[in-house]
Chains A and B, each alone.
Chain A
């Protein structure tokens, strides 16, 4: 039974990975990655890592993939050009991938990890459940836990700064600052956002591409 589950999940994970690489349309790549993530969650369950499997499904297949789907729908799947800066890159890359796999397999299997060929020790009933992981996170790994929370906050702020739109009055502080000084049009214009750099001749004109997106 365990073998059936393992090989089924492994096939799903591999098929998902190949689908991510081979699909022309990025939307289908995202769907293939969702298959891959669910298969990995099944593998985590086989390894008695219940909390990691649940987090995989909820965080990855739930939240992160929804973000991907939204961005793919917003950006759209552009066709990829056939032009290659390195000749025969499409044929050399799989060769390098195969070499990488062989190298990793040799490095792991020829190591002196004697427990690698075993099923692992018998673990208690609560191994890998949320209580055990939570106890580890809050007792032994408290500092990495807090650091990762700060990292998440920084990533959220960075994403808003990068992708946020500052237009039409409801924008950021620089825009409000520019509106409060109508009497000095000769003042050096403040670049309002990442994608609006003033041109050299005079005050910035609203670029024609804005407002249509």
Chain B
């Protein structure tokens, strides 16, 4: 398989994640769609790493995984805090900070 296939697949997955973020209302599903987009980026990084024949892109992918894990932990902590305050888990209702 040539690298084009992997890169186009990663673009498709990224677009799918973006659509999910736009149409879903639950903050948890929005976090899941963020995961989709980050993983699409990872796939592109690994594909380019294979294309160049250099392992550094895979190190980038590992670091992206670390950042994604941190984002998930903080995001889920926020969701639990919102749930404890009996606020609606809906991004359209949580608009107090809107300018």
Residues of A within 8 A of B (CB): 2-3, 6, 10, 13-14, 17-18, 20-21, 26, 29-30, 33, 36-37, 40, 43-44, 46-49, 51-52, 55-56, 59-60, 63-64, 67-68, 71-72, 74-75, 77-78, 80-81, 83, 85, 89-90, 93-94, 96-98, 100-101, 104-105, 108-109, 113, 115-123, 127-128, 132-133, 136-137, 140-141, 144-145, 148, 151-152, 154-156, 158-163, 165, 194-195, 209, 213
Residues of B within 8 A of A (CB): 1-9, 11-20, 22-26, 28-29, 32-33, 35-36, 39, 42-43, 46-47, 49-53, 55-56, 58-59, 61-63, 65-74, 76-81, 83-86, 88-90, 92
B61 x A17 contact (CB < 8 A): no
A100 x B24 contact (CB < 8 A): no
**Overall SS of chain B's interface:** helix
A60 x B65 contact (CB < 8 A): yes
A158 x B74 contact (CB < 8 A): yes
A71 x B13 contact (CB < 8 A): no
How many Å from the CB of A152 to the closest CB on chain B?
6
B52 x A13 contact (CB < 8 A): no
Given the contacts A74-B80, A159-B74, A163-B77, A40 and B5 also touching, CB distance less than 8 Å: no
* Bound CA–CA A137/B49 (angstroms): 15
Given the contacts A47-B6, A100-B14, A20 and B29 also touching, CB distance less than 8 Å: yes
Given the contacts A49-B58, A68-B72, A81-B25, A75 and B90 also touching, CB distance less than 8 Å: no
**Overall SS of chain A's interface:** helix
Q: Which of A33, A132, A158, A162 contacts B80 (CB 8 A)?
A: A162
Given the contacts A128-B58, A152-B69, A144 and B22 also touching, CB distance less than 8 Å: no
A144 x B33 contact (CB < 8 A): no
A36 x B58 contact (CB < 8 A): no
* Bound CA–CA A71/B20 (angstroms): 20
Can you list 30 contacts pairing A with B, beta carbon distance less than 8 Å? Answer: A17-B13, A21-B16, A21-B24, A26-B29, A26-B32, A44-B43, A47-B49, A47-B50, A51-B62, A56-B65, A60-B35, A60-B39, A64-B72, A71-B76, A71-B80, A77-B26, A94-B23, A97-B19, A100-B18, A101-B14, A109-B4, A116-B7, A122-B53, A132-B55, A155-B69, A159-B76, A162-B77, A195-B81, A195-B84, A213-B83
